[in-house]
A and B are shown apart, each in its own frame.
Chain A
């Protein structure tokens, strides 16, 4: 008897995409306690910065001769400074500065640096030499020194500080972008794209930049922390956020005058800077682990 063979559908090859970067990031976040903790700190930080007017008990700029240099109390949790301003309120408002500088500067630096680096790496020759020497020149100075130098020329103020931090970070991004472009440029898929008639600008935007995005994004997340630190340093030195506007850096600076009377402003602001910078660094590491194939494999 003939065995009837049913026409069974062939098992189709698995079409499941590899776990996407975002879900991998989620997994990475919650698989390690330290990263989860860092994530929580960052969430609280962003929350505080966004809702500062609702959270702050006092106006951060309101002075009062009656309550100068007070120690922490039920009214003023972190005490007051030499103008009688509430330190906790100033810290809450100061977080806005840190957040804005911490986000805007690395993004701007990433854009400028990527453009410079990709142009240098892709076109090579004399263009590459000029851009590379410029980058070397900027890299010769430590970030802080470079920032102080530019701030000294431009003066303080919001956009100047952003410009300062951006310029300080551009060389690093340009370096990474250039090196990655040199590698991607050699890839057969770039040659294949040229061979089907794709023109240079499209090659750069569609085939080169998406393939060098991973290291740039990693660098960007790592440098959010550096940008916050740098802004605090500049404000501490008096060339960042200008008084009376609050910033964690100038809270520490103001606190120095009364260090032995009440160390709480310095302790509070210092603790905030440490926590936020550490958390962003840990998060940056997690992002790197997700995006860097050599580490994640």
Chain B
């Protein structure tokens, strides 16, 4: 059993006044092994971005705060580190890229200075060495003529190129973990494919572990080995990529998969999960998916389902499918 690179355990994040907090992330646990790739998928407001921000402790306090759980990186609980130590971790051990490539670069600094800034913070290098490193990073992410573009400003780059620059900046110090929060959402599909290819390449060449946040299962399937499905601040299913697509166990995951449009589909209207995500903090008891679930039984209304195991690589939080699986197992045992 290898020690995971990152282990998030029972994480909970609250927003709003202390007296009447809104819990936007509740009991989230998952692991990433060194060099591995895990995807978090979920609708808007499911808490996936907050989870990723919590790892680097980038949640602004107030109004937000992490109220429970552990985030272990290489065996060190990041939540117990003093706040002043966090800048040493950020960028050097764990790096992050964000959704908006168009505005994630400082408009008044050159590309070279911005990538160089990250290197300067974490590694002792002379100006020359740093420049060489920046050029190397730009070449790695596929910016043509990297030496000539060092002194260019962000507005001279297209969206896809800016996202590459962001990736170069994040990877400049060889972090062990790259958190990518919807890195392809704002890009059109061809650029999306290029960025995903780039992430594959980086995983191969640098052995960087990746935590990919997305609402697009296709993107996650392309890059990741494991998937964490989040709904209303909770993990509802966690499995390897194969099981998620072949045997999804949570009705929400099944709904998500059904809503993916298919080329051979003749339906006039795409499938949709009825209803919408409950407001953060409005679910007090029972399964958060109860209102929209097609399989719901009375038990779901009152008792939050724990994570049930479905085989060695798959866990899901659903009373109904768990009992169905149990029944099937018993049937198999009888025969």
Could you say which residues of chain A place their CB within 8 Å of the CB of B108? Answer: 210-211
Flag if B106 contacts A207 (CB, 8 Å): yes
Flag if A195 contacts B121 (CB, 8 Å): no
Given known contacts A206-B109, A210-B108, A211-B108, A196 and B91 CB-to-CB distance under 8 angstroms: yes
Flag if A198 contacts B117 (CB, 8 Å): yes
A18 and B154 CA atoms in complex are apart in Å by 11
Flag if B121 contacts A192 (CB, 8 Å): no
Judged by a CB distance under 8 angstroms, whether B134 is at the interface is no
B99 to chain A, nearest CB (A): 8
Given known contacts A187-B103, A197-B88, A17 and B156 CB-to-CB distance under 8 angstroms: yes
Flag if B118 contacts A196 (CB, 8 Å): yes
A256 and B76 CA atoms in complex are apart in Å by 80
Chain B 115-159 interface mask (CB, 8 Å, partner A; 1/0) = 001100110000000000000000000000100110011011000
Judged by a CB distance under 8 angstroms, whether B211 is at the interface is no
Given known contacts A12-B145, A187-B103, A192-B105, A197 and B152 CB-to-CB distance under 8 angstroms: no
Judged by a CB distance under 8 angstroms, whether A127 is at the interface is no
Judged by a CB distance under 8 angstroms, whether B90 is at the interface is yes
Flag if B106 contacts A193 (CB, 8 Å): yes
Flag if B87 contacts A198 (CB, 8 Å): yes
A290 to chain B, nearest CB (A): 15
A231 to chain B, nearest CB (A): 34
Flag if A195 contacts B106 (CB, 8 Å): no
A10 to chain B, nearest CB (A): 9
Instruction: Name the contact of A191 in the complex, choosing from B98, B107, B145, B149 (C-beta under 8 A).
Output: B98
Judged by a CB distance under 8 angstroms, whether A194 is at the interface is yes
Flag if A196 contacts B156 (CB, 8 Å): no
* CB nearest to A190 among chain B residues: B106
Judged by a CB distance under 8 angstroms, whether A15 is at the interface is yes
Judged by a CB distance under 8 angstroms, whether B229 is at the interface is no
Judged by a CB distance under 8 angstroms, whether B8 is at the interface is no
* CB nearest to A208 among chain B residues: B106
Flag if A189 contacts B58 (CB, 8 Å): no
Flag if B117 contacts A206 (CB, 8 Å): yes
Could you say which residues of chain A place their CB within 8 Å of the CB of B220? Answer: none
Judged by a CB distance under 8 angstroms, whether A188 is at the interface is yes
* CB nearest to B113 among chain A residues: A206
Flag if B90 contacts A196 (CB, 8 Å): yes
Judged by a CB distance under 8 angstroms, whether A199 is at the interface is yes
A18 and B155 CA atoms in complex are apart in Å by 9
Could you say which residues of chain B place their CB within 8 Å of the CB of A196? Answer: 90-91, 95, 117-118, 121, 169-170, 172-173
Could you say which residues of chain A place their CB within 8 Å of the CB of B56? Answer: 195
Flag if B104 contacts A189 (CB, 8 Å): yes
Flag if B98 contacts A192 (CB, 8 Å): yes
Could you say which residues of chain A place their CB within 8 Å of the CB of B88? Answer: 197
Could you say which residues of chain A place their CB within 8 Å of the CB of B121? Answer: 196-198
A207 and B109 CA atoms in complex are apart in Å by 8
A188 and B173 CA atoms in complex are apart in Å by 20
Instruction: Name the contact of A197 in the complex, choosing from B87, B97, B156 (C-beta under 8 A).
Output: B87
B side interface size, CB within 8 A? 37
A197 and B172 CA atoms in complex are apart in Å by 12
* CB nearest to B117 among chain A residues: A198
* CB nearest to B107 among chain A residues: A211
Flag if B170 contacts A189 (CB, 8 Å): no
Chain A 177-192 interface mask (CB, 8 Å, partner B; 1/0) = 0000000000111011
Could you say which residues of chain A place their CB within 8 Å of the CB of B96? Answer: 192, 195
A108 and B166 CA atoms in complex are apart in Å by 37
- Please provide the chain B residues from 75 to 93 with a CB less than 8 Å away from any CB of chain A in the complex: 87-92
Could you say which residues of chain B place their CB within 8 Å of the CB of A189? Answer: 103-107
* CB nearest to B161 among chain A residues: A13
Judged by a CB distance under 8 angstroms, whether B9 is at the interface is no
Flag if A197 contacts B103 (CB, 8 Å): no
Judged by a CB distance under 8 angstroms, whether B240 is at the interface is no
Could you say which residues of chain B place their CB within 8 Å of the CB of A197? Answer: 87-92, 118, 121-122
A42 and B99 CA atoms in complex are apart in Å by 48
Could you say which residues of chain B place their CB within 8 Å of the CB of A210? Answer: 106, 108-109
A30 to chain B, nearest CB (A): 26
A113 and B113 CA atoms in complex are apart in Å by 28
Could you say which residues of chain B place their CB within 8 Å of the CB of A194? Answer: 58, 87, 90
Judged by a CB distance under 8 angstroms, whether B72 is at the interface is no
Judged by a CB distance under 8 angstroms, whether B216 is at the interface is no
Judged by a CB distance under 8 angstroms, whether B43 is at the interface is no
B290 to chain A, nearest CB (A): 35
Given known contacts A15-B148, A189-B105, A195 and B91 CB-to-CB distance under 8 angstroms: yes
- Please provide the chain A residues from 158 to 215 with a CB less than 8 Å away from any CB of chain B in the complex: 187-189, 191-199, 206-207, 210-211
Instruction: Name the contact of A192 in the complex, choosing from B104, B145, B152, B172 (C-beta under 8 A).
Output: B104
B268 to chain A, nearest CB (A): 39
A198 and B107 CA atoms in complex are apart in Å by 17
* CB nearest to B87 among chain A residues: A197
A293 to chain B, nearest CB (A): 10
CB-CB nearest 5 A-B residue pairs: A196-B91, A197-B91, A197-B90, A196-B118, A195-B96
B interface residues (Cβ-Cβ under 8 A, vs A): 56, 58, 87-92, 95-100, 103-109, 117-118, 121-122, 145, 148-149, 152-153, 155-156, 166, 169-170, 172-173
A interface residues (Cβ-Cβ under 8 A, vs B): 12, 15, 17-18, 187-189, 191-199, 206-207, 210-211
* 7 more CB-based (< 8 A) A-B contacts, given A198-B91, A206-B117: A18-B156, A188-B99, A188-B100, A191-B58, A195-B95, A195-B96, A196-B91
11 A-B pairs in the complex with CB atoms less than 8 angstroms apart:
A15-B148, A18-B156, A188-B99, A189-B106, A189-B107, A192-B105, A195-B90, A196-B91, A196-B173, A198-B121, A206-B109
